[in-house]
Structures are given as structure tokens and as C-alpha cells.
Amino acid sequence: MNQIQSITEENLKDFLTCPYKFYFEVFEKKKRSINWRQVVQHVVNKVVYSFFQLPAQHRHSGKVLGLVDEYWSKVSPQIFESRIQYYMVIAKITDYLMENIHTESKKSPPLFLFEKLNTYIEELDVDLSLTFDVAEWSDSSFVIKKYLVDATPEMLVLYNYLSIVFSEKVLKRTPKSVEVVTLLDGKRHVFIPTPDDLQEGLNYLQVMKYSIEDPSNYFKTNNVNECKVCPFHKECDQNTNEFTSKKYLS
């Protein structure tokens, strides 16, 4: 068991998805293949970024449609599992983006737009980084928003705690709410932080850090959808207990 010195939001998400996959990507430096979710998330980020860069009077649902058309045109149907999936994904992403960011048309531009923040967290003894996708700041409120293709309940909890810890530690402010829209099902997940959440968030991140540092507890995901798009089947079949004998963290 070795200590890690820096950790990103991406690392934590990968570890939640499957510790084995995380290991192959991060420590064995095996090539990460691009799957359709990552490509679609990239399109979503481009649309959201471009939309919020527009003056308020130009932020309307027609503009969302135009931006989706522009960025989606570069997406190959080949990366999807089927043609039906390709069409279903574009239809849902377009509908739910229009429904959700359209309501932002009258607001002032966000303070943070895909801003990557990095800070040392003393309680965890680690450098932590997080991207605030959209963060609206005013005298009376601070609201953090994220638009994701999809998210498991564990990822929603992770994002909520990361947002709270970062807001308190870097900006010295408690968010009024943390909102995540998952675009494949159109759900808006709203968290209202309480005074206890900073300590709970630190405890949660501490447990995750210990889990990453102790490979003897790594397990394989039982999410078949993740396995379907995972490039590490061979390594995964071969490898069960080898992690414990390797020194891979610095």
C-alpha cells in the first residue's frame, strides 16, 4: 500500500466504474479506447459551453438545436452498438438539452464555464482537481450545474461531495444547490447542501483515497454494460490477485 499525491475527478469516476479498469488505465498505462458515451459527452460539453458563451438574447431552444447539429455532424454512427442506438441517443440528448438549458436563456453568464480547479486538501493530504462545468454566482446564491450523458447513483454522490468540498475549500462558499441533469433519461438531480456535508464529503473522499491506495480490495464491476465496452477483457480474465504484489503508486 502506497500513498497517492494527486487525484482527479476523472480518476475517481473511473474507480467507481470498475477498479480493475481503473487499474489497467491508470497504473498499467494500457490504451484507453474511446467509447460512444465519451464521444457524446464531448458533444454535450461543446454545446453547453457554446450556448453559455452567447449573449442572453441569443440563448433560445433553436440555438441549442443548431449547436447539437453542428457538433453531432462529426460523430460516426460506427462507434455505437447499433443504428437504433445512434438515433435514440441523438434524439434524447437533443430533447433534454433543449428542455433544460433553454430555461437558462434569461440569466447572466455563469461565473465558471468548464473551469478546471486544482487545490491541496489538507485533511486528505492530496491534490484534488475538479471541473466546474457551469457555476452561477451572485450576492445571494451560488449554484453548480452539470450536464451528463448518464450517471450512476454513486457518481451523483461523488459529484455532489466533490462540488461541496471544492466550494468550501477554494471559494469559501457553500453552494445553494448542486444540480446534475442526466440527458439519456432527462432527470434533474438537485442536491441542497447542509452544514454537515463538508465533513461528510471529506470522509467520503478519504475512504475513496484509501480504497484506491489498497489494491488488495479491488473488485471487478458486475455492470455488464461497462464490460461490453471495456477494452481490457483479456487483462481482466488473466488478472485477479496480481495487484497486491505490485508497487505502482508514487
Residues in contact with ligand SF4 by the rule CB under 6 A:
18, 20-21, 220-221, 226-227, 230, 232-233, 236
Q: Which is nearer to ligand SF4, 132 or 218 (CB)?
A: 218
Q: Where are the alpha helices (DSSP H) in 184-223?
A: 197-213
Q: Min. distance of Cβ 21 from ligand SF4 in angstroms?
A: 4
Contacts 24+ apart (CB under 8 A), 29-35: 30/231, 30/232, 30/235, 31/231, 32/231, 33/231, 34/79, 35/79, 35/229
Q: Min. distance of Cβ 240 from ligand SF4 in angstroms?
A: 11
Q: Min. distance of Cβ 221 from ligand SF4 in angstroms?
A: 5
Q: Min. distance of Cβ 30 from ligand SF4 in angstroms?
A: 10
Q: Which is nearer to ligand SF4, 159 or 232 (CB)?
A: 232
Q: Are 34 and 79 in contact (CB under 8 A)?
A: yes
- The sign of the torsion formed by the CA atoms of 86, 160, 11, 221 equals negative
Bridge partners (DSSP) of residue 148 are 182
Q: Which is nearer to ligand SF4, 116 or 233 (CB)?
A: 233
Q: Which is nearer to ligand SF4, 198 or 236 (CB)?
A: 236
Phi and psi of 55, rounded to 5°? -60, 150
Distance, CA of 177 to CA of 191 (rounded, Å): 6
Q: Min. distance of Cβ 206 from ligand SF4 in angstroms?
A: 24
Distance, CA of 167 to CA of 147 (rounded, Å): 18
Q: Are 14 and 35 in contact (CB under 8 A)?
A: no
Q: Are 51 and 80 in contact (CB under 8 A)?
A: no
Q: Min. distance of Cβ 158 from ligand SF4 in angstroms?
A: 18
Q: Which is nearer to ligand SF4, 21 or 59 (CB)?
A: 21
Nearest to 215 by CA among 70, 17, 23, 38: 23
Q: Which is nearer to ligand SF4, 173 or 233 (CB)?
A: 233
